[in-house]
Each structure stands twice: as structure tokens, then as C-alpha cells.
Amino acid sequence: TRPAVQILPFSAMAVGGRALTVERSRMMSTAQPPRQRSLALQMSTEAWKPSAKMPRKFIVGGNWKCNGDRASIKALVQALNNGPSVAGSGVDVVVAPPMLYGDYTRGMLRPDFGVAFQNCWVGGGGAFTGEVSADMIKDAGFDWVILGHSERRSLPEIKESDEVVAAKTAYALEVGLKVMLCIGETLDERQSGKTDEVNARQLSAVAEKVTNWNNIVIAYEPVWAIGTGVVATPEQAQETHLAIRKWLAKNLGADVAQKMQIMYGGSANAANAESLAKQPDVDGFLVGGASLKPEFLKVIDSWKKKLE
């Protein structure tokens, strides 16, 4: 059942022959406190309880961002290829090179690794200079795209809104891509006690447009920990991941909550991956700087901590 919302037009664009409307929505009731309204998409009232019968497969993503050239990427791929195979193991591994090097990377990388794009356009093709559509990514043989990364949400040159991230996610899923959906709070928001509120707001925007979450993996990125050398403690990561899973159970159902892989994306590296991987609601990592180094193999190997 869709939630009772009032849809406010945000912008409308003709995209690839389709009318695509990016909408900003707010809950009709203003009687609720702001925090309750941010958590308000109540699609299900099922109580969520973890199930040992439905283990989630570990997943590790390497986001290379705007780094590398042919020589450095070749060396990095060779290091990955020389590592242990992940085929048939308890972990999936997906790397996201800069767009220009997608085919170059895939052509050298072992087939047990996946390759993702770091972004896509909000809809289909058309007169959108410099953009790449999800259709093109799928047609080129790629399966994954990273959306909503904190840098794209926060960099002043980009400033993607929750609504734009939601529209991109919906379209990417529509054409058959799998999505690493990034969410997370800034340092100011965390210090103000708004971590759960921010995550719920960002998830709610996607829930307004997406009903089937089977091909979504959530990456929780505490923005204050990205590229700073500061990392959430295992206890902090677990607390937030559990809150996200409870939101999923409340709003999308217990089955979605139980199956959803939730990655940690705040400066994960070889030094902290094992302690983070031991947490019951940490299902993998979206790795930035460490994915450009040989230590990425140790992050991948941390999945074995789930067996202990």
C-alpha cells in the first residue's frame, strides 16, 4: 500500500522520449514531530527479527573514484588477479574504475570480480551532453552502478538531492542494473543526533519511487569518516546498520530487511575491516582509498570473520 503523501513537483524533464518527473514529497500530516515524519513511510507494521536461517552474502566494493591511469590500473588489476579466487566463496567483489577505464579494467580483470560504474544519468538517453544513461551502462555489459555517493550529494559543483538520487535509482533498476545505494550523515548531523533521521530521509526518497528492492545494496557512509582517517567504531557501525535494518523492516517489510546487504563505507581498510566484519549487521564494505592499494585484498578476506 502506498503511503499517503502529497506530491509537490520538483522538476520535469523529457528524457529519451519519456516524461520523467522528479518529485519532492512530504507527509500530509503535520501533527507528527519532525523526527517521526522523517521515519513515516509505514508500508508495513511487521515486527522484524533477525533470522539465522537467512544468512546474507558478504559484498565488498572498491570505489576508485577519479583516480588512476592505464599503468596504475593495470598494476592494481594484476594485484587483484594474483589474489585468491572469490568464485563460489562467501563474498562478492565489485570494483568501480573511472568511467573511461571501465572496459579496460573489465578486459583484464578475472571474471569472478564484477565491475561497476560510479554514476549514471537520471533517465534515458537524449540531449544531455556529458552524461551516460543506465541503458548505455547495461548495453555495454555492466551490471552495477553506485548512486548517491556522499561526494555527489555534497560537492558544491554537483549537489545531488535525495530526489535526484531516488530518480536515478528507480531508472537504473528499471533497465536491469544493480544499485549500490549510498546514504549517510555529515559530522554536524551526527553531532546533532540526526544520524537515523538523515538515513531515513534518504531511504524514504527512494521508497517513494521504488517498490522492488531486490537489486539494491545499501552502503552506509558516515560522511565524517570518508577520506578523513576517522572511522566509526565497530559498535557505532553496528548501531547504525541495525537502525537502517529496522527502518527497512518497518517500511518495506521483514523479508526486505533480512535479505538486505548493508555495506559500511567510512574509511574501511585492512586495519579495521576484521573488527567491523564481525558485527552482525555489517554485510560488507564500500572501500575508497584502500581499494587502490594491495591491502584491498585483506579487506576482501575479512568476510571470513563471518564464519567465526
Rounded-to-integer distance, Cα 95 and Cα 264, Å: 15
Rounded-to-integer distance, Cα 208 and Cα 113, Å: 32
Non-local CB neighbours of 266 within 8 Å, separated by 6+ positions:
184, 220, 221, 222, 224, 225, 226, 231, 232, 237
Query: Pick the catalytic residue: 151, 160, 197, 221?
Result: 221
CA 273 to chain centre: 18
Q: Is 241 known to be catalytic?
A: no
Rounded-to-integer distance, Cα 63 and Cα 280, Å: 24
Query: Pick the catalytic residue: 149, 151, 185, 208?
Result: 149
Q: What is the 3-state secondary structure (H, E, C) of the chain?
A: CCCCEEEEEEEEEEECCEEEEEEEEEECCCCCCHHHHHCCCCCCCCCCCCCCCCCCCEEEEEECCCCCCHHHHHHHHHHHHCCCCCCCCCEEEEEECCHHHHHHHHHHCCCCEEEEECCCCCCCCCCCCCCCCHHHHHHCCCCEEEECCHHHHHCCCCCCCHHHHHHHHHHHHHCCCEEEEEECCCHHHHHCCCHHHHHHHHHHHHHCCCCCCCCEEEEECCHHHCCCCCCCCHHHHHHHHHHHHHHHHHHHCHHHHHHCCEEECCCCCCCCHHHHHCCCCCCEEEECHHHHCCCHHHHHHHHHHHHC
Active site residues: 149, 221
